């Protein structure tokens, strides 16, 4: 540890200096990335070995999966369907985010609103999502809005509940202090309530993004047969495990990227809480 990474404290006894060393955040972050990279490489090596040793039809070696992925990229099938999926994901998540934040804040601020619609929000959260597929199909037929509606059904209610919980979790003493200084309701919301609930609110948004990706694939596999989910359905019916796993890797990459973007926003907006 270099001297600039060490923090020196006042001596507790004459002639003695107590030192404590701390890893800087970027160094700790790099170490985490190294561990994750080693774990990923080890898992892929194990996958390759088991694929050749076991010879199972549903577990081809990683090299064959990558060859199938390269072929899908070469013929343009991946990018065309990826664009369709990402468009529906973006529209569905934005709708869920706006509706979820507005309704969640209202439920968190006003107990009457929570009592009036909370039972419906909780019931719809736990209702199986594909139950509504025939309804969405009847309303929107085979248009993009059918898949978007499935994404919204997967996403919006978890955002509503987490937002309402985040708003209600604000420290009452902070709110009381703001009122005692004559702050208006708008000032209390902007300067006290919103910052105090940001951490939990963003955690709910991250959960919502993960559920949005699930909704995207579910809608494409079982309703519209387009996009990445439609490709999974197509090659799954052909028992082509290499292409199905290749598409699974693409879907996982999409989920990690969009989740990482939300996590970056989370870190930037909640640095004060560290």
Taking only the tens place, the pLDDT of each residue in 217-272 is 988 888 878 888 889 988 888 888 999 999 999 999 998 898 888 888 777 776 65
With respect to residue 10, please indicate whether it lies within any of the assigned structural domains.
Answer: no
Q: Is position 181 within any domain? A: yes
- Nearby residues of 249 by Cβ (< 8 Å), 6 or more positions away: 65, 69
Distance (Å, whole) CA 177 – CA 65: 60
* 166 within a domain of the structure (yes/no): yes
Q: What are the two backbone dihedrals, phi and then psi, of residue 183, each rounded to the nearest 5 degrees?
A: -70, 140
How crowded is residue 166: how many other Cβ atoms within 10 Å of its Cβ?
A: 23
In a domain, 12, yes or no: no
pTM of the predicted protein model: 0.77
> How many domains, the chain?
2
Residues 174-226: tens digit of each pLDDT: 777 777 777 777 777 777 777 777 888 888 888 899 899 999 998 888 887 88
Contact between residue 217 and residue 226 where contact means Cβ atoms under 8 Å apart: no
C-alpha span between 1 and 84 (Å, rounded): 50
Domain of 208: which CATH number? 1.10.3720.10
The whole-angstrom separation of Cα 232 and Cα 119 is: 36
Looking at 55, 73, 95, the residue that finishes a domain is 55
Residue that finishes a domain, picked among 38, 55, 72: 55
Calpha distance 53→49 (Å, rounded)? 6
Q: Are residues 31 and 97 in the same domain?
A: no
Same domain for 72 and 50, yes or no, is no
Nearest to 229 by CA among 85, 72, 28, 49: 85
Scored b (16 or more CB within 10 A) or e, 87-116 reads ebbebbbebbbebbbebbbbbbeeeeebee
pLDDT at 9 over 90: no
Residue 198: other Cβ atoms inside 10 A:
16
Average pLDDT of the segment spanning 24-53: 77
Same structural domain for residues 130 and 264? yes
- Domain span at 244: 62-273
Domain co-membership, 100 together with 228:
yes
pLDDT in tens, 131-154: 888 888 888 877 888 889 999 999
- Whole-angstrom distance, CA of residue 85 vs CA of residue 65: 21
Nearest to 250 by CA among 5, 66, 54, 37: 66
For residue 62, give every residue at least 6 positions away whose Cβ sits within 8 Å of its Cβ, in sequence order, or none.
44, 47, 48, 51
99, part of any domain? yes
79 and 156 assigned to the same domain: yes
Same domain for 150 and 210?
Answer: yes
With beta carbons less than 8 A apart as the criterion, state whether 159 and 212 touch: no
Is residue 220 in a domain?
Answer: yes
In this structure, the answer to whether residues 40 and 141 fall within a common structural domain is no
Of 34, 55, 76, the last residue of a domain is 55
For residue 22, the model assigns a pLDDT of 38
């Amino acid at each position: 540890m270099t001297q600039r990474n060490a923090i020196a404290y006042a001596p507790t006894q004459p002639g003695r200096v107590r030192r404590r060393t701390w890893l800087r955040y970027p160094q700790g972050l790099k170490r985490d990335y190294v561990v994750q990279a080693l774990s990923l490489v080890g898992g892929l090596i194990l996958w390759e070995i088991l694929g050749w040793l076991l010879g199972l039809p549903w577990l081809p070696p990683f090299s064959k999966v990558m060859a199938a992925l390269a072929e899908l990229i070469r013929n343009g099938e991946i990018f065309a369907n990826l664009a369709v999926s990402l468009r529906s994901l973006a529209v569905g998540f934005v709708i869920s985010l706006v509706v979820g934040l507005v309704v969640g804040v209202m439920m968190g601020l006003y107990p009457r609103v929570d009592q009036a619609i909370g039972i419906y929000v909780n019931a719809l959260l736990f209702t199986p999502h594909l139950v509504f597929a025939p309804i969405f199909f009847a309303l929107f037929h085979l248009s993009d809005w059918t898949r978007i509606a499935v994404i919204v059904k997967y996403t919006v209610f978890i955002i509503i509940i987490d937002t309402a919980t985040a708003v209600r979790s604000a420290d009452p003493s902070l709110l009381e202090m703001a009122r005692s200084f004559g702050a208006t309701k708008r000032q209390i919301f902007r300067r006290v309530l919103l910052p105090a609930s940001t951490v939990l609110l963003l955690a709910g948004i991250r959960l919502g993004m993960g559920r949005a990706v699930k909704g995207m694939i579910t809608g494409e596999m079982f309703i519209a047969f387009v996009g990445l989910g439609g490709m999974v359905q197509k090659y799954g019916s052909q028992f082509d495990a290499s292409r199905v796993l290749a598409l699974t890797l693409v879907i996982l990459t999409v989920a990690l990227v969009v989740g990482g973007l939300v996590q970056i926003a989370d870190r930037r907006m909640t640095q004060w809480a560290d």
